[in-house]
């Protein structure tokens, strides 16, 4: 009987879930070639083809589907046993995988991620940022970070701070020859830095007049899909930008940009760290949750 590695089985599940060697390789932190070679070796050991491959698609063979169906619950039991052992560690170690959208990652990187690594240097953090909402259990993540209203009902959630706000900003040089917008509709007469959502739709700038939600479809010379790129465009006086306050707060305080329409930008839900209930989680998992709760308490005390 040949020897097998759990990582080979993880690879099979990742490919079956993603339907792509390339996407699965990215999830696993491998090159596509290394992943393909590992699967070819496993298929050779088993004596069956697990995947049907064409130039356009990858799908499980009948044998591969039976293999995944029987192997998945067994792997869960194995990893549960490993979690039980790791929970008895005196020194937290191993890897924690976290999924967050980019703005949230920027907000938690210093107070949570870096603070954690300083306390527990033997733990490795694998932080994946993406705009689309994912099932963190199915995708193999320990934690997710999303706005409070996006947290699935069956997850345990820890608010990581107070309510957040949007900020509309422009540089003094952009505003030097233009009237400042006084109400959201005034933006239609300005050049705005437009942004695209992960699903391809254009982001509509959101405002609030008392209890009424307003949305404005702005226009401008450029459309971008990442806040850091939009910030660069705004700082170069391309136009007015719409950001999470945390992304441009230093620019506002330093006078690099002027805040606009502040009375029209409402508070929005706080960020939450969320995770599924786990029996006997590893020591690293437990201390990460403890630090998140500590951060939540300190934010509430401010």
Tens digit of each residue's pLDDT (9 = 90 or more) over 267-278: 888 899 999 988
Q: What is the pLDDT of residue 30?
A: 83
Burial zone of 292 (CB within 10 Å; 0-12 exposed, 13-18 middle, 19+ buried)? buried
176 pLDDT tier (thresholds 50, 70, 90): very high
Q: How many domains does the chain have?
A: 3
Based on the fold, state whether residues 211 and 245 are members of the same structural domain.
yes
Q: What pLDDT band is residue 22 in, cutting at 50, 70 and 90?
A: confident
Same domain, 275 and 236: no
pLDDT of 86 > 80? The answer is: no
Q: Is 214 exposed, middle or buried (0-12, 13-18, 19+ CB in 10 A)?
A: middle
Residue 140 to residue 73: CA distance in whole angstroms: 14
Beta bridge partners of 258: 170
Rounded-to-integer distance, Cα 61 and Cα 65, Å: 6
Residue 86 within any structural domain of the chain: no
How far apart are alpha carbons 269 and 271 in whole angstroms? 7
pLDDT at 95 over 80: yes
User: Is the pLDDT reported for residue 69 higher than 70?
Assistant: yes
The answer to whether residue 50 is domain-embedded is: yes
Assign 78 a pLDDT band (cuts: 50, 70, 90): confident
Q: Which of 250, 247, 200 minimizes the C-alpha distance to 225? A: 200
The whole-number pLDDT of residue 204 equals 94
| N-terminal to C-terminal alpha carbon distance within the chain | 61
- Specify the pLDDT at position 192: 97
- The predicted pLDDT at position 302 comes to 58
Angstrom CA distances, 90 to 114, 126, 197, 283, 287, stand at 21, 22, 43, 8, 11
Confidence class for position 138, pLDDT limits 50, 70, 90: confident
Model confidence band, residue 229 (pLDDT cutoffs 50, 70, 90): very high
pLDDT value of residue 87: 64
Residues 257 and 197 occupy one common structural domain:
yes
94-98, 125-129, 158-162, 290-294: least confidently modelled range: 158-162
The predicted model gives 258-281 an average pLDDT of 90
Q: What is the pLDDT, as a whole number, of residue 301?
A: 59
Specify the CATH number for the domain of residue 236. 3.40.190.290
Band (224; pLDDT cuts 50, 70, 90): very high
33: containing domain: 6-78
CATH number of the domain that 275 lies in? 3.40.190.10
Do 188 and 255 fall into the same domain? Answer: yes
57-76 mean pLDDT = 88
Same domain? For 106 and 238 the reply is no
If you average pLDDT over residues 187-192, what whole number do you get? 96
Q: Which segment, 50-54, 72-76, 246-250, is predicted with the most confidence on average?
A: 246-250
- For tokens 């422009």, the residue is 170
Q: What is the pTM (predicted TM-score) of this model?
A: 0.66
Q: Kindly state whether residue 87 falls inside one of the protein's structural domains.
A: no
Contacts of 285 (CB under 8 A, 6+ apart): 83, 96, 142, 275, 278
pLDDT at 9 over 70: yes
Average pLDDT over residues 277-288: 88
Query: At which residue do the structure tokens 């900003």 appear?
Result: 169
Whether the predicted pLDDT of 1 surpasses 80: no
Q: What is the DSSP letter of 186?
A: G
* 36 has a pLDDT exceeding 80: yes
């Amino acid at each position: 009987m040949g020897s097998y590695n759990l990582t080979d089985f993880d690879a099979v599940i990742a490919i079956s879930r993603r339907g792509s060697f390339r996407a699965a390789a990215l999830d696993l932190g491998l090159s596509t070639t290394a992943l393909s070679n590992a699967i070819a070796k496993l298929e050779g050991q088993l004596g069956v083809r697990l995947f049907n491959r064409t130039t356009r698609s990858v799908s499980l063979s009948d044998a591969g589907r039976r293999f995944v169906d029987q192997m998945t619950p067994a792997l869960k039991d194995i990893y549960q046993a490993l979690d039980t052992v790791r929970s008895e560690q005196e020194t937290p170690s191993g890897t924690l995988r976290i999924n967050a959208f980019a703005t949230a990652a920027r907000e938690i990187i210093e107070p949570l991620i870096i603070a954690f690594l300083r306390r527990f240097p033997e733990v490795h953090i694998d932080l994946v940022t993406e705009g689309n909402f994912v099932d963190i259990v199915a995708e193999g993540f320990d934690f997710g970070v999303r706005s409070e209203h996006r947290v699935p009902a069956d997850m345990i959630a820890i608010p990581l701070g107070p309510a957040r706000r949007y900020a509309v900003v422009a540089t003094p040089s952009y505003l030097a020859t233009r009237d400042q917008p006084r109400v959201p509709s005034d933006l239609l007469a300005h050049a705005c830095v437009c942004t695209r959502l992960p699903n391809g739709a254009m982001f509509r700038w959101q405002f609030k007049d008392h209890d009424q939600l307003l949305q404005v479809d702005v226009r401008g010379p450029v459309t971008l899909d990442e806040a850091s790129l939009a910030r660069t465009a705004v700082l170069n006086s391309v136009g007015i930008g719409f950001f999470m306050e945390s992304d441009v707060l230093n620019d506002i305080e330093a006078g690099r940009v002027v805040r606009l329409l502040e009375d029209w930008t409402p508070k929005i839900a706080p960020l939450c760290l969320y995770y599924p209930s786990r029996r006997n989680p590893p020591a690293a998992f437990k201390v990460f949750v403890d630090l998140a709760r500590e951060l939540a308490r300190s934010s509430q005390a401010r």
